[in-house]
Amino acid sequence: DGDRLYVAAGDAGLRIMDVSDPGAPFEIGAAPTPDRAMDVAVRGDHVFVAVRYAGLVSFDALNPSAPAPRDTLPLGDEPLAVALLGDVAYVASGGDGLYVIDAADPAALSVISQLPVPGYAQGLACGADYLYVAAGSAGLRVLDVADPAAPYQTGWFTTAYARGLSVDWRDVLLADGFDGVRLLRNDMIVPVLLTEFAASWRDGAAELRWRLHGDADPAGCRLARREAGVWATVAYVTSSLGSPAVFVDGSAPRAGARYGLLAAARDGGESLLGETVLAAAPPTPLRLRVAPNPFNPRTTVSFVLTQPGQVSLRVYDAAGRLVRRLHDEPMPAGDHAIGWDGRDAAGRPLPGAAYFVRLVTDRNAQASKVLLLK
């Protein structure tokens, strides 16, 4: 645990070592246990020791030179190993099987449940929501402990005599008696599962939302857009399991796009977690405005284009007759303003009346009523 090593030292009880210099470790603290200390697990400054013939003993090691006992929970005759997963402690107790302990308060340990385990439970390790039990002649037993009140066996592996083990995520290193050491893998673990992935338009940009679940945070994620048959990088993003994530892509094509979320794999490659489709962008308000209104003799028509394209700006009378073409050519994106002098296409002054200015683009249209005073 960092620069400290906690040792279950048999008849010598609990020993705490300083290993900041691995070549010169030294003891910084110790505490006796009611009987033989068989195994130890640590959470922060709290230490839990499986003690043969006594049970599970908790210590406060805030001061590592003088660890203080907090509670002792009797667990039969053979507590041989202990492992922690969150606020829950698991104790392998030989022929008694497995004890599940509420260790949220180290000063008030209590049994949540007990589960028989084939063989002789003598080694424990946790990985994701799985508990691995070295069960002697019954080999390796794999338990799902997502619900600590109801653990159940999900798999096993027959070995010569499983004595002890260590787990790194999905990989299990098992001490197997006279057969030596085995390296096993739990393929029931799905590293990362994409449970939500959606794309929508918001304020003229693409908003991507997703949520990850699984058994380990990905080393990194790449948000990409499908272009010319490949996943073109949009951004490298961070995601935490269970938490919603949001990214805004201001460069999204208005015709729509396909997005993918890819996770970095431990072998250096990538895995595609999922895809989502961004629909074509809805028509964007042109923000058509005519000012002054009413006017005499001139007014200005202003509007905004979010993308370049063909623009038609025309004036109609109240009967729907075209009286003037103000613009009928392509225009770049941005803010625009076009003046009108109250005259028709032939340059003749129009009578005072209500007229309608109509703006048409490739993707939208908008009209505004204007009053010419005489």
Six token digits for residue 201: 């338009």
Total count of domains within the chain:
3
Find the range with the poorest average confidence among 137-141, 147-151, 340-344.
Answer: 147-151
Say whether both 164 and 265 belong to one domain.
no
pLDDT value of residue 215: 53
Backbone angles phi, psi at 178, to 5 degrees: -70, -15
pTM over 0.75: no
Backbone angles phi, psi at 177, to 5 degrees: 55, -135
Q: Is the pLDDT of residue 263 over 90?
A: no
Q: Is residue 110 part of a domain?
A: yes
Q: Is the pLDDT of residue 350 over 60?
A: yes
Residue 74, Cβ neighbours under 10 Å: how many? Answer: 14
Six token digits for residue 248: 């805004």
Q: Is the pLDDT of residue 255 over 90?
A: no
| Last residue of one domain, picked from the residues 221, 254, 278 | 278
pLDDT average, residue stretch 213-237: 81
pLDDT value of residue 217: 54
82-86 contact pairs (CB < 8 A, 24+): 82/39, 82/40, 82/41, 82/48, 82/49, 82/50, 82/56, 82/124, 83/41, 83/124, 83/125, 83/126, 83/131, 84/41, 84/42, 84/43, 84/48, 84/126, 85/126, 85/129, 85/131, 85/145
Say whether both 353 and 338 belong to one domain.
yes
Q: Is residue 128 part of a domain?
A: yes
Say whether both 310 and 367 belong to one domain.
yes
pLDDT value of residue 267: 47
pLDDT value of residue 191: 58
pLDDT average, residue stretch 22-45: 95
Across the chain, mean pLDDT equals 89
Q: How far apart are the first and last CA of the chain?
A: 88
Sheet bearing 140-144, strands edge to edge: 123-127, 130-134, 140-144, 152-157
| Last residue of one domain, picked from the residues 153, 185, 217 | 185
Backbone angles phi, psi at 198, to 5 degrees: -145, 150
Q: Is residue 306 part of a domain?
A: yes
Say whether both 85 and 15 belong to one domain.
yes
In percent, how much of the chain has pLDDT > 70? 94
Q: Which of 212, 123, 217, 133 is nearest to 169 (CA)?
A: 217
Query: Is residue 346 packed enough to be buried (19+ CB in 10 Å), middle (13-18) or exposed (0-12)?
Result: exposed
pLDDT value of residue 292: 95
**Distance (Å, rounded) from C-alpha 174 to C-alpha 162?**
7
Q: Which structural domain range is residue 316 located in? A: 289-372
Say whether both 118 and 234 belong to one domain.
no
Say whether both 103 and 244 belong to one domain.
no
Six token digits for residue 193: 């599962």
